[in-house]
Structure 1
Amino acid sequence: MSHECDDCGQEFDTLSRLRLHDCPGNQPAEATENSTTETTDASTGTSLDDSGLDREKLEREYPDVVGDLPELFDDAREGDLSALFRAIAEYERVLAKVFRGDAPGGDELHRDLLFAYYEPLADGLAAAAETNGWDALIEFADAYDPREQDALPEVGHVIANALGRSVIRTRQDDGVDAIPAAALAFLGAIPEYVDEHHVAYEESYTYGWGIGHPEYSVADQLLALAEDEPKFVKITLNTAFYVDQHAAIDVLETLVTDDEISGTRSTLGLETDLTEFYFQAVADLETEALLGPHAPPYWDEDDDLPRVVDVDPDVKQRIRALAHETGVADGLPAEWALRDLEPGPMSEMLDMMSARDDTP
């Protein structure tokens, strides 16, 4: 499918070439600081329902800012590919323009715009993927690949959301082999470009659904990020245990026994050795009341996801042996369970949930 630039009329074979071409009428949005590890309040620490203004009010009050988004919105939300190509490009342009200060509103308007169009555009991309298959979605992943610009584009969270939904559905319906490696590569790259408070960081946790892929190694990327991005690695590994515990235990073993992986994780002012921290990835596997494997925001099919893992006896024995080998078990009760690997308030919560589950 060819793509034509609305400003200069040139046609391109790929969406990536269209997005990055040197157009005098409309330069592609450059990566802004909130698309990198230097995130701002506009893209961090905000509930998905916290937008101060609804979409229609934004469009009434800032018509010069939102550009063509109102005209493209309905078709894009329904999964029309032609509308999506234009809408996501316009969304990127609008967000970058506001962030640079070329439009009024500052961080607050940037946040409102980000969340006003986040879910509908992600829904549209997910719908397009269901209708047109993976090829349509991978074209967006290639066009907005953070590795091409050495920064996550302003719309990276939308691409990642749709990728995450399709990764889960594909794994459940067709197996891990059917997931395109490019989808996993996009998700796995996100923590390299944004910090853990960025909205796209949460999207990247669905990466764990790709564990055991025959052509792309999720395990290798988790090990590569083990020291710099422990939160991502832990949550992703937790999801990996839900979908393939045998592949996941191999990753855990390397994480907690490799002498080259060291450091601590700071949580609420407390420093936890990374070895202990990574054991927490298995603490909830047998506790049905908790969340289960990660699903992206706006995922509406969570009833289809497992809530508890029937941990294989051999896997459980390997976890116990590793806990003793590394000394993590030294501070645990004599008859410790997996939930005891999560210390403090979380462990107490798991105990209460377990007791409730055991009550007739």
Structure 2
Amino acid sequence: MNKIVFTGGGTAGHVTPNLAVMAKLRERGWEIHYIGSRNGIEREIVEHEGVPFHPIASGKLRRYFDLKNFKDPFRVALGVGQAYGLLRRLKPHIVFSKGGFVSVPVIVACRLAGVPVISHESDLTPGLANKISMPFASRICVTFPETLQYVRSDKAECTGLPIREQILQGAAARGLSLCGFHSQKPVLLVMGGSLGAQRINQTVRASLDTLLQRYQIIHICGKGHVDPTLAGKRGYSQFEYVKDELPDLLAAADLVVSRAGSTSIFEFLALNKPMLLIPLSRAASRGDQILNANSFQSQGYAHVLFEEDLSADALVSGISALYDERDAMKRRMADNPYGNGTETIVRLLEALKRSGG
């Protein structure tokens, strides 16, 4: 039986694309295991899918001074040893890495154990963990065509992002029903990532009366950020967090306002959902969301509103401009060659397995 180990963690964006590839390989009879960090978000997500999870030690790779920088190299070394022991016991044909700090000891252990690795980078510029890991990989998959200039390797290929099959199977009628909406007025979906985005939440609510004149609004606002004073407001439906309902809510949406994490925006792209992206600022991130958003804007898949420019008036104006361009944007999105990278990545895994690395 073909056997594969997945790794990656730290954020949901490092894990959920793995689920798409895992589902396809499971259909083809592969035995699947996952190596991740003991207390990372990946453990809960993977175990929920019924995949055997093997925790190892890992350390964060920081670009700034912190006393933990003196301790974490020892945790990484311990993780390499633990991962090496797991690889010797599990004997996988191949490892697929989605990045995050926990992937570093796993990929180093793969080199020691002679196990081939395919790594995947979601963002436009590689994160630090993937930069360290890439020299050890047999193949490097990237999500954005622009990323190839940063990798500069004949091992690299633009595959797009693996998209979960469930995301593509939503029903608009169910989504409208969940919110108590009708089909005679366009639907705007606002989401700020798994934790929500307070600045976006506040601005949406400040412009709510104006927006509700033209749209019905689904607002995924993050845990603890539902506004009880707006409960029952006609045409406005709030959710702290959604999971199983997300495909139906996306199917019901005509437009999306969102942060610019790569997993989310490629899911919107696969669904041909015109998007207004409000990326995290450089003060709050390494700037990857800004690059992601600019790439989508340059390809005609999205409009961008920077957080520094965010106001109620700017939001209303940005959504209006997006709505006016929605049909042209959908046509461009439908012609995108990297809408769903799942099948391409599965073919690469199968080919590398046949060649023995």
Interval containing the TM-score (normalised by the shorter chain): under 0.3
Higher relative contact order (CA 8 A, sep 6+): 2
Q: TM-score, structure 1 length as denominator?
A: 0.24
Write 1 or 2 for the structure with the bigger share of helix: 1
Write 1 or 2 for the structure with the bigger share of strand: 2
